[in-house]
Structure 1
Amino acid sequence: MLDDLAQRGFLPRQDPATDFQRHSELHALDQLGRDLPSLLLENDFRQFACALTLPHWPEHTVTEASLPELRLYYVRLGFLASAYINQVGQAQAKILPKNIAVPLVAACKLLKRPPILSYDGYALYNWKRFNINKPIALGNIDTIQNFVHLYDEHWFILVHVEIEAKAALLLSAIEHFIAHDNSDIDSTLNAILSAMEDMVSTLKRIPERMSPDLYFSHFRPYIRFFEHVEYEGTDIGTIDFRGETGAQSSIIPVLVSFLKIPHEATELTDHLRDMRRYMPISHVTFLEQVEKTTDIRLRCDKTLYNNTLEAIAQFREIHYQWAIEYIDKHVADPRGTGGTPYMRWLKQLIDETRGFKIQ
């Protein structure tokens, strides 16, 4: 895993598939994905979606060769399912029709994840490079699938992709630290600090090309949680699933675990723990490995450790500011897309991070 983390962080080891090359019967999903933003502008979208004959994923096992296209299949159907349940301008649907639910559930079982679009499908597997010889960075990347015809949504997703790419430095440093028996602590902290500063710079760019009004009204509703939704034709019954949220990224949980930052138990910390269900299995495995590392606080350079905590607090603080600007000013429902009343606890996470500095 070391080489993967060094090159890509938690992004896929190879660029995501953008269309179905190995299975021609799945090409209809590519066209459906391209048409989805236009289809969602029509009041009869749900009738149209119910009548679709969707191709099922044709393989019963997951291989290295099939994984990129299986992820694309999950992206296409995950977007379609969230579009159906959360269509803007319509009441939230309570039944996901059989023609969508059955193939989505089957594919997600192969990926060992809940059958709803999550951060991995919305961001980690949803990008392409214009020039494959240039970095995974804003200006050289675009999305594969969207809900709306607005570049604001592209930008929202792509900022997260660049943050994930920049996190490769800190993740590979932590992996190297573990692999070499907890040696060279300060070098590891320097890598984390450098990566965090770059990630903060990227997160600050959100307002450049994303309108708060358009985010809140046009595409945020599509990544909302599912509440009491029946998956028709499946054996999973009526469910509540968390919606897509950046809290499903594994970067900050890894840092919290590595630096042993204590957070008082609240409904939000329970929510963050539950986010692991929506993370790729390999990310959770790495996170659990990091949790077993020893506390470095008494063995590191104190100033370096404190500067690293401050960078994490700044990242959280900017996220908190954007949550106010893009959500809290517009919403009566205090729950985020993941289904939790997050605002009252975000400040606590910032304060507890800063409060853990070595005196």
Structure 2
Amino acid sequence: MARALRLEDFGLNQRSGFLPDEPPISRLPQKHYKPWETIMDSFNALLLAGRLQDVVDDLPVLGTEQLRNDTERRRAFLILSFLAHGYVWGEPIVPAILPASIAVPFDQVARELEVRPVCTHASLCLWNWRPIFACETPSLENLATLHTFTGSTDESWFYLVSTAMEVRGAPTLQLTLDAIAAVAASSVSTLTIKLRALAIHLDYMAVALGRMHEKCDPHIFYNKIRPFLAGWKNMSDAGLRNGLIYEGCENTPEGSFRAYSGGSNAQSALIHMLDIGLGVVHQQTGQTALDASDSNGPNAFMQDMRNYMPANHRRFLEALQEKANVRQFCLKHSGDYELSEAYDACLAMLKVFRDKHLSIVSRYIVVPAASATKRESANYKGLAKVVAPTKEALKGTGGTNLMAFLKQSRDETGKIVVSSWAKHLMKNCYGQVGLQQMDRLTQVGLAGNWGSEWDDIDGGFCS
């Protein structure tokens, strides 16, 4: 009999989920890394004064050999990701080279953690928090960020909503494994119980996500925060035609460019896990399951986002993919009303979650982008710019249409319900969130737009 999956085999547990078991450390203890920590002490002030690049250029190249464990490596990765993105996006002129003082240790620690050397969901949300009161459990009322680019409460809240969502979703890891085990044991009653519990926690996650508007202003996010979250992939309109050169890295030919996506909630293993556990399959954007035989496989963007996850999260998803069996079992026992109801409730709650995500994208990206077209591009720097539409922009560059991608993901979640009543309900309850505004907008980088259709979703946290 095949061995059941255990969370502890992947460094996970049902209390913290995909978050670290203990709060991230706020400083590296080694004197060797004091130059990094000293910059982080004045990080917001250096960005505001326009002096971060000068300070980083004067840094020595500090190797990662003195980092003793993954806790310290995660702290180093966090620091270097903020330094890198502050260096690139903090000035009007975007540099083509990431200096060796950042690039070399960033590349080293990223290889040790098996992630991409760029700002990710992990560095912004999973490893960038502390409890306000150590004796209380993490929640939006008991969380603070370690670092932000802008020093604003809006930015802190934006990250912390995602962190809180991970907290609320932590029990779903074990519930998903329990559901798979129930199928292996052919226990309809146990599976029904586990799916009902899973639906409740999915609702909790949606509630956490729905609190975004409380303390994060959409225009501050779009114009001040989101530009810093960009990567260096598909960013030619922001000044990085080929990506970024990581100076001095041993495993990269001199002068060669690297192109990485920026931070995205699509890099959260939690959402991937729920899709896998419930049997939700995402096709290439614009295709349906009927087209699957003609496609190149599952959605390429979602698959690529796994490369930006912590290694243990990625391996857990790979192992889960081989064990997932819940949907097939529910289809086989579709005559059991209580089981079908429980399974469909999970899909309904996941669909509600995606509805809320669509609403947030509309409010935090679509509406501010429409407003930005009315302003002069001279009022913006770096990524926060408006450009006139061109024939090339109208044609697109082969990227994924943002709202089409999110809407299709939402629809694919609802379409696989089991009961006929649920199918009718899902078919007639889809919203049209933000689609009117989206008809005329194409994303340029992270905080600009063309006049046609969204061009890519390779960066930005609402992707």
**Same-fold call, TM cutoff 0.5:** yes
Could you tell me which residue of structure 2 aligns to residue 85 of structure 1?
88
Do residues 297 (structure 1) and 330 (structure 2) align?
yes
**1:60-98, Cα deviation, whole Å (9 max, x unpaired):** 7xx6xx2111100110011100111122x5133221111
Query: Counterparts of 1:6 and 1:193 in 2: how far apart (Å)?
Result: 16
* Aligned counterpart in structure 1 of residue 307 of structure 2, from 277, 288, 294: 277
Q: Does 1:232 align with 2:247?
A: yes
- Partner amino acid, structure 1, of 2:282: H
Q: Is 2:76 the partner of 1:69?
A: no
Mapping of 1:4-19 within 5 angstroms? 4-19=12-27
Structure 2 counterpart of 1:259, from 275, 278, 303? 278
Question: Structure 1 residue 35 and structure 2 residue 45: aligned?
Answer: no
Query: For the structure 1 residues 116 and 145, does the alpha-carbon distance in structure 2 shift closer, same or farther, using more than 3 Å as the test?
Result: same
Q: 1:109 aligns with which of 108, 111, 118?
A: 111
Aligned residue in 1 for 2:367: 329
- Residue 145 of structure 1 pairs with residue 160 of structure 2: no
| Structure-1 residue corresponding to 2:206 | 200
Structure 2: distance between partners of 1:48 and 1:29: 10
Higher deviation after alignment, 172-181 or 204-213: 172-181
Kindly state the Cα deviation for residue 263 of structure 1 after the two structures are TM-superposed: 2.7
SS at match of 2:49: coil
User: Residue 168 of structure 1: CA displacement?
Assistant: 1.1
Q: Distance in 2 between matches of 1:32 and 1:340?
A: 37
1:195-254: CA deviation from partner (whole Å, max 9, x where unpaired) = 111011111100100000110111111111213111111133311101001110011111
> What is the distance in 1 between the residues matched to 2:170 and 2:195?
14
What pairs up with 1:20-31 in 2 under 5 angstroms?
Answer: 20-21=28-29, 23-31=30-38
Q: 396, 404, 428: which one pairs with 1:344?
A: 404
Percent identical: 27
Letter in 2 for 1:6: Q
The answer to whether the aligner puts 1:59 opposite 2:66 as a matched pair is yes
Deviation at 1:341, TM superposition (A): 3.6
Per the alignment, residue 461 of structure 2 pairs with none
Counterpart in 1 of 2:7? 2
TM-score, normalised relative to structure 2: 0.71
* Unmatched runs of 5 consecutive residues or more in structure 1: none
CA drift at 1:259: 1.2
Q: CA deviation at 1:306?
A: 1.2
Superposition map of 1:302-317 within 5 A: 302-317=340-355
Aligned residue number for residue 197 of structure 2: 191
Q: Letter of the aligned partner of 2:309 in structure 1?
A: M
Alpha-carbon offset, residue 328 of structure 1: 1.6
For 1:345 and 1:313, the matched residues in 2 are separated by 14
**Aligned pairs, number:** 349
Runs in 1 of length 4+ with deviation above 6 angstroms? none
**What's the counterpart of residue 288 of structure 1?**
318
Question: What is the aligned counterpart of 1:354 among 397, 406, 414?
Answer: 414
1:9 partner SS: coil
- Report the CA distance shift for 1:307/1:178 in structure 2 as closer, same or farther (over 3 A): closer
Highest Rg: 1 or 2?
Answer: 2
- Greater Cα offset, 30-39 or 148-157: 30-39
- Per-residue Cα deviation, 1:317-350 (whole angstroms, up to 9, x for no partner): 111111011012233689xxxx854122211111
CA–CA distance in 1 between the matches of 2:61 and 2:307?
26
Is the aligned partner of 1:159 residue 2:167? no
Match of 1:296, SS state, is helix
Task: Quote the offset at 1:46 in angstroms.
Answer: 1.9
2:351–2:413 CA contact under 8 A, matched in 1: yes
Counterpart CA distance in 2 for 1:313 and 1:177 is 20
Deviation at 1:114, TM superposition (A): 1.2
Distance in 2, Cα, partners of 1:126 & 1:189: 31
**For the structure 1 residues 53 and 248, does the alpha-carbon distance in structure 2 shift closer, same or farther, using more than 3 Å as the test?**
same
The 3-state SS of whatever aligns with 2:244 is strand
**Amino acid corresponding to residue 72 of structure 2 in structure 1:** E
CA distance in 2, matches of 1:356, 1:266: 17
Deviation at 1:191, TM superposition (A): 2.3
- 1:59: Cα distance to partner? 3.4
SS at match of 2:245: strand
Name the residue aligned to 2:101: 99
- Three-state SS of the structure 2 residue aligned to 1:19 is coil
One-letter amino acid matched to 2:28: F
How far the C-alpha of 1:141 sits from its partner, in A, is 1.1
Using the size of structure 1 for normalisation, the TM-score is 0.91
Secondary structure of 1:220's partner? helix
Measured in 2, the distance between the counterparts of 1:76 and 1:263 equals: 34
- Aligned ranges for residues 235-246 of structure 1 at < 5 Å? 235-236=251-252, 237-246=256-265
* Inter-CA distance 72–340: structure 2 relative to 1 (3 Å threshold): farther
CA RMSD of aligned residues (A): 2.1
